[in-house]
Amino acid sequence: MTPEAIFQRLADSFGAEAVFELHADPAKDKDPWFKVAPAQIEKVCERLRDDPDFACDYLECVTGVDYPSEKKIAVIYHVNSYTLKHRVVLKCYVDREAPALPTVVNVWSTANWQERECFDLLGVLFEGHPDLRRLLLPDDWEGHPLRKDYAEKADYHGIPTTRPNPVELFQLKVPVRDGGLPPAAAAGSAPQTPGKDKEAKAS
Amino acid sequence: MSEVIFANEMDEEMTLNMGPHHPSTHGVLRFVVQSDGEIIRKVTPDVGFLHRSIEKIGERNTYPGFMPYTDRVDYVAAMFANESWATACEKLMGVTVPKRAQYLRVISCELNRISSHMIALGATAMDIGAVTPFPWTLREREYINDFVEELCGARLTYNYHRIGGVSFDMPKGWRDKVRRWLDNFDPIMQEFDRLITLNDIFVRRLANVAVITGAEAKDWGLVGPNLRASGVKWDLRKDDGYSVYPELEFDVPVGTGAFGTVGDCWDRFWVRVEECRQSARILRQALDKIDEHPEDDLVGKLPKKLRPDGEAYSRVESARGDMGCYVIGKGAEEPYRVRFRTGSFTSMGIISAKSPGLFLADLVALIATLDVVAPEIDR
């Protein structure tokens, strides 16, 4: 089935308020996609998996995109069918300030880790997820890096997150003890002695 | 390495910390294992030690400028991440790749697939306790590294593919060298079968261990050799038919449960052995057929400014299965969003579901035969 036909079938059975806005401009949308109301995503996915005409048994990818100008985060599902060899792309637009939508772990188990990653990097809450913890970043990390307005902290537990530009360092012919380092190095604690800093803080 | 914490002295249950520098974790991974003696009750994988936020880096680089970074997505098989990024950008910008460049992509990728499987096979055998096969497979990998070095100048992080094509043509005499090596490779694989694949001790060690059924594999999003070992015949090279793969003849090996159940550890090992043979077959044909296409036609016609608007998702069959690259452009020089979907990431998800009830030593076999590579999980 083409994505257009899948969209039509879903829109007919779920109604235009649940499945809407097919985007299939060949110049822009190389994989046609449509929007799904966030509250309906689990039911739509269940239908995609169980209906023999769709038979979508493989959730390829769950990811999110931040759109600060629209104050939305798009959660994107790429779904594939092994038997019928068709694909479909669903997008859920959730509010950027309180992003939350139902999980699809009960439909495809692979959503477990992919949703955890999306929560970790974009801060989307998946309601009903069995184990929604940070996955890639440390548990005490602040913020969600893939948001467009994310500002990196200067250090993490005393480890600087920036380094002096090595090109500028090589230009220094004679190392000078005071005032010799470029301002970037002077601002963050000097990279040569992070261990010492840590010890000093620990003691 | 590993340390043991007894949670309760009256109880046999203990918490084992496996990793992050355990030799069988193939990189920097950590598993917190709760076990009752030798029997595992629960495994909690802890990943992220190699996280570099490659997706954020992608948002800060231009489309061609991001190519060297993609090597680091999977350093054992960097060519596929190159190809994945290149095909995603080509799909987004509507670029056609010249046939010769496509053949060069197939040749480089299939060489890389063999070298990646060589690591997987050798390391699996070594994790189980057979040390000899590892140097054997590494020897073959070294030959391939030499070939790829002649082709693109690097042995590990290739940066060979370009948006619209590849960077260099084959050097003079290179093709005959590869052909000579291929002639030796088939007998070596037969010897490898006698040495380890069909070795009775090895077969008994892996058959019927950590069986993953086809339905489970689909549900957990396993891809590539892991999926095929569970009996699902799905290979993007055949089923999606990208690049010039439809012009080439090869078979897709599927797990048969020859010594146990379909989808056991031995099947996952055997599927990789067979894939090496099929890759050698593809290489022979591609090295012959590349002559039909003119030289010095290596990069397709690109738009003057690479500022696409829109989105595209590309899929390639990497050594660890379906590698997807999702890119969104908003008319700027840098992509708005980059996403890599990798095989190892989803393979990791199944470990905590499959491991309860396994022996502790079988967890090592499960991790090894799933062929997870740490940077591909963490990106």
Cβ A108–B219 below 8 Å, yes or no? yes
Question: What's the pLDDT score for residue A176?
Answer: 60
Q: Which residues pair with A22 in a beta bridge?
A: A34
Examine the pLDDT at A189 and tell me if it is beyond 50.
no
CA neighbor of B367 nearest in space, from B358, A10, B309:
B358
Distance CA B99, CA B289 (A): 10
Across A5-20, average pLDDT: 84
CA neighbor of A48 nearest in space, from A75, A20, A17, A86:
A86
Q: Rounded to two decimals, what is the model's pTM?
A: 0.85
If you ran DSSP here, which 8-state letter would residue B247 be given?
Answer: G
Residues from chain A that touch B221, judged by Cβ atoms under 8 A, are 58-60, 108-110, 114
Q: Within A68-192, where are the H helices?
A: 111-122, 166-171, 183-187
Question: What's the pLDDT score for residue A201?
Answer: 46
Distance CA A149, CA A130 (A): 29
Reported as type and span, the H/E element at residue B101 is: helix B99-128
**Angle (nearest 5°) at CA A163 between A158 and A165:** 165
**Phi, psi at A119, each rounded to 5°:** -65, -40
Question: What's the pLDDT score for residue B349?
Answer: 85
Cβ B341–A61 below 8 Å, yes or no? yes
- What is the pLDDT confidence band of residue A194, given thresholds at 50, 70 and 90? very low
**List of E strands, B145-291:** 161-162, 165-166
Cβ B91–A30 below 8 Å, yes or no? yes
Question: What's the pLDDT score for residue B331?
Answer: 85
Examine the pLDDT at B18 and tell me if it is beyond 90.
no
Question: What's the pLDDT score for residue A203?
Answer: 42
Examine the pLDDT at B17 and tell me if it is beyond 90.
no
- What is the pLDDT confidence band of residue B25, given thresholds at 50, 70 and 90? low
If you ran DSSP here, which 8-state letter would residue B359 be given?
Answer: B
For residue B6, give both structure tokens: 């007894």
CA neighbor of A60 nearest in space, from A52, A70, A48, A71:
A48
ipTM of predicted complex: 0.85
- Whether B271 and B278 have beta carbons less than 8 Å apart is answered as no
Reported as type and span, the H/E element at residue B326 is: strand B321-330
- Whether B147 and B177 have beta carbons less than 8 Å apart is answered as yes
Per-residue pLDDT reduced to its tens digit, B245-280: 888 889 999 988 888 888 888 999 999 999 999 999
Question: What's the pLDDT score for residue B282?
Answer: 92
Question: What's the pLDDT score for residue B271?
Answer: 92
Residue in A with minimal Cα distance to B94: A27
Across B164-188, average pLDDT: 90
The Cα of B280 is separated from the nearest Cα of chain A by a number of Å equal to 27
Higher-confidence residue: A203 or B12? B12
- Whether A57 and B220 have beta carbons less than 8 Å apart is answered as no
Percent of chain B whose predicted confidence (pLDDT) is above 70: 96
For residue B299, give both structure tokens: 């990069």
Neighbouring CB atoms inside 10 A of B97's CB total 23
- Whether B321 and B224 have beta carbons less than 8 Å apart is answered as yes
Neighbouring CB atoms inside 10 A of B296's CB total 8
Distance CA A7, CA A1 (A): 10
- What is the pLDDT confidence band of residue A182, given thresholds at 50, 70 and 90? low
What is the length of chain B?
Answer: 379
Residues from chain B that touch A58, judged by Cβ atoms under 8 A, are 218, 221
Per-residue pLDDT reduced to its tens digit, B104-119: 999 999 999 999 999 8
Examine the pLDDT at A106 and tell me if it is beyond 60.
yes
Per-residue pLDDT reduced to its tens digit, B121-161: 998 998 888 888 889 899 999 999 999 999 888 888 888 99
Per-residue pLDDT reduced to its tens digit, B274-297: 999 999 999 999 999 888 877 778
Residues 244-303 of B with CB under 8 A from A: none
Neighbouring CB atoms inside 10 A of B18's CB total 23
Averaged pLDDT score across all residues of chain B = 87
For residue A11, give both structure tokens: 């829109």
Distance CA B328, CA B92 (A): 8
Question: What's the pLDDT score for residue B182?
Answer: 92
CA neighbor of B364 nearest in space, from B137, B117, B31, B116:
B31
Question: What's the pLDDT score for residue B76?
Answer: 87
Of the candidates B47, B232, B339, which has its C-beta nearest A135's C-beta?
B47
Across B15-33, average pLDDT: 79
Question: What's the pLDDT score for residue A190?
Answer: 47
Examine the pLDDT at A195 and tell me if it is beyond 70.
no
Question: What's the pLDDT score for residue B85?
Answer: 92
Neighbouring CB atoms inside 10 A of A138's CB total 11
Examine the pLDDT at A27 and tell me if it is beyond 90.
no
**Phi, psi at B103, each rounded to 5°:** -65, -40
Per-residue pLDDT reduced to its tens digit, A135-173: 888 888 888 888 888 888 888 888 888 887 777 777 666
Cβ A76–B326 below 8 Å, yes or no? yes
Give CA A140 to chain center in angstroms. Answer: 18
**Phi, psi at A19, each rounded to 5°:** -130, 120
Q: What is the DSSP string of A25-48?
A: -TTTBSS-EEEE-GGGHHHHHHHH
Per-residue pLDDT reduced to its tens digit, A49-82: 888 888 888 898 899 999 989 889 999 999 989 8
- What is the pLDDT confidence band of residue A200, given thresholds at 50, 70 and 90? very low
- Whether B276 and B97 have beta carbons less than 8 Å apart is answered as no
**Phi, psi at B46, each rounded to 5°:** -125, 110
Higher-confidence residue: B3 or A82? A82
Question: What's the pLDDT score for residue A198?
Answer: 45
